[in-house]
Structure 1
Amino acid sequence: MEFLRPGNWAEALELRAAFPDALPIQGGTDVMVELNFDKGRPAALLDLNPCAELRHIEEIDGRLRVGSGVPYVRIIRELGTRVPGLAQAARTVGSPQIRNRGSVGGNLGAASPAGDSHPTLLAANAVIEVESAARGARMIPIDDFYVWVKKNSLEPDELIRAIRLEPDSGPQYFSKVGTRNAMVIAVCSFAIALRPGTRSAGTGIGSSGPTPLRARAAEEFLAQELPWGDPVPLSETLTREFGALVAAAAKPIDDVRGTADYRTHALSVMARRTLAWAWNDLVEDRRAA
């Protein structure tokens, strides 16, 4: 196995083009597990750690641009109030050591349906910035990024450079079910983002289908049925209907972590709870204003 170590981002793209079978590695929190369990031996590893360009956080035209190499711990510390859903998800990832090394870019590259950041990226309508040496940069809407189980829409010569998303314009929440809150692969997970300015909502479902999923019917339901103009406590009928629509959008299977029926039920409960938390935050903000 070859070990490729570029000096900067431009060299990394050149090496990616020359060695399309090379497996990118930075934090190694997914890659090293696969190697340790001998689940695959890539022809080469492409080390992205020297690429300081991947560790920048900036704001461009009102949108956040988060480098693919920014570790979870920085998302928690620096973006907790700007993209709270993503920060909440980051807090549930592994141990402190994992959060110091792992990144959203790594989650996207692995494209596991159980990745904790995926539901929040869907709910936030994120855009993934990828780049190749030959064609330059292109933007992939998050809905077009996931292709199949652990498959994304990257071309063989492309690497993930950054994640672009709108700062918080309303309440965001993330929830997951596992044997405990952290250091566990999610049995299922859910994220919600309310955008009162446009009277719209975003959702994301994790670990309950071949790819991370969006509950579009549930989003349309909230856009039409939430009392946006006069925030009042939500009825149980509304929250239960929302939970049922989220559960219906899932495509779960039975596996060693849980049954399809359990996942469907848990998603319904998490959807109701996160909607209630988000709506209560919105009501409190209106009262304070």
Structure 2
Amino acid sequence: MDFLRPTTWADALAAKAEQPDALPIAGGTDVMVEINFDLHRPPALLDLNPIKELATYDTAEAPVLSRGDDPPHPPVKSGWLRIGASVPYTRLINELGDALPGLAQASRTVGSPQIRNRGSVGGNLGAASPAGDSHPPLLAGNAVIEVESAARGVRMIPATEFYLGVKRNALEPDELIRAFWTAPATGAQYFSKIGTRNAMVIAVCSFAIALHPEERRVGTGVGSAAPTPRRATAAEEFLSNELDWDGRTPFSVSAAQRFGELVKEAASPIDDVRGTADYRKHALSVMARRTLTWAWNDYRANKIAGREAS
């Protein structure tokens, strides 16, 4: 097995172009497990650790998608966040938890402290496992993935189009993930996960919700309950029209139940060693109702506080 260790991003792209079957590695929290158990033997490893820019983040204008569409969100006042593919979960929690609460909550559920110090969203995206913890909040927040090749340059791929199948993503053989883009939260966000124990466990199923009050829209993300992470679009549309965005009234019990049912209907899980399909669907409906309750209570409390202050 060859071990490639470029020191610049340009060198990394050149190495990937020359050897497209080289497997990128940064934290190695997924890759090394598969190698140690002899589940996967790539012909080469492409070590991205020396490339410091992948471990940084900054603010930027809303991204322009590669197919020429409008940005997936209207521009927000504080600008978008562009987060390098190798920024570890620990830094997402400690440094970006206020701006991206849903992603920070999901990051706290990843493995042990040692894993969170090494693992990153870029690695989660590269592995494209349906059970990846960062996928639901990325979908709920309409994140965009920045990828690049030496030959064709940069592509901006919406998270909704990035996952193609079980452990398959939209990357071309010569492309590498450089960063992901997402707007800071303008409303409440929550993530919920069920596992076979309380910590250091792969999700049986997971769910994320994000309120986007400026657009009067709800975002969702469903994990470990289909061949790919996905949104529950019918549930989003229903709830976006059902909620009182002025925050003066709570949502009805029937609306919460219907939201949970629509989230359940969006899933297409399987039976496996971690849980049955029926259990996953039931759990998703419960998590959908609970995260909605938490998010809406926060939203209404902030609206009430704002009215009292004025």
TM-score (norm 2): 0.92
Q: Would you say the 8 A contact 2:247–2:299 is kept in 1?
A: no
Q: Would you say the 8 A contact 1:124–1:165 is kept in 2?
A: yes
Cα distance, 1:81 vs. partner? 0.5
In 2: Cα distance, 1:7 partner to 1:198 partner: 42
In 1: Cα distance, 2:244 partner to 2:233 partner: 19
1:211 aligns with 2:228: yes
Q: What is the match of residue 6 of structure 1?
A: 6
Q: Map 1:94-173; keep pairs closer than 5 Å.
A: 94-173=111-190
Q: Map 1:248-263; keep pairs closer than 5 Å.
A: 248-263=265-280
- The list of structure 1 runs, each at least 4 consecutive aligned residues, that deviate by more than 6 angstroms after superposition, is none
Cα distance, 1:181 vs. partner? 3.4
Cα distance, 1:229 vs. partner? 2.4
Q: Deviations over 1:95-154 (max 9, x none)?
A: 000000000000000000000000000000000000111111110011110000000000
Q: Deviations over 1:2-53 (max 9, x none)?
A: 0001011110000000010010000000000100111111000000000111
Cα distance, 1:180 vs. partner? 2.7
Which ranges of structure 2 fall in alignment gaps of 5 or more residues? 62-78
Q: Would you say the 8 A contact 2:143–2:183 is kept in 1?
A: yes
1:178 aligns with 2:188: no
Q: What is the match of residue 265 of structure 1?
A: 282
Q: What is the match of residue 235 of structure 1?
A: 252
What amino acid sits opposite 2:14 in the alignment?
A: E
Q: What is the match of residue 197 of structure 1?
A: 214
Q: What is the match of residue 43 of structure 1?
A: 43
Cα distance, 1:179 vs. partner? 2.1
Cα distance, 1:195 vs. partner? 0.9
Q: Would you say the 8 A contact 1:231–1:282 is kept in 2?
A: no
In 1: Cα distance, 2:83 partner to 2:106 partner: 15
Calculate the aligned-residue CA RMSD, in Å: 0.7
1:63 aligns with 2:83: no
Q: Secondary structure at the match of 1:223?
A: helix
- Taking only the aligned residue pairs, the percentage that are identical comes to 69
In 2: Cα distance, 1:83 partner to 1:258 partner: 30
Which ranges of structure 1 fall in alignment gaps of 5 or more residues? none
Q: Secondary structure at the match of 1:20?
A: coil
Q: Secondary structure at the match of 1:246?
A: helix
Q: What is the match of residue 22 of structure 2?
A: 22
Q: Deviations over 1:169-195 (max 9, x none)?
A: 100000000023331000000000011
Q: Would you say the 8 A contact 1:56–1:67 is kept in 2?
A: yes
Q: Secondary structure at the match of 2:211?
A: strand
In 1: Cα distance, 2:58 partner to 2:140 partner: 21
For this pair of structures, how many residues does the alignment match?
289
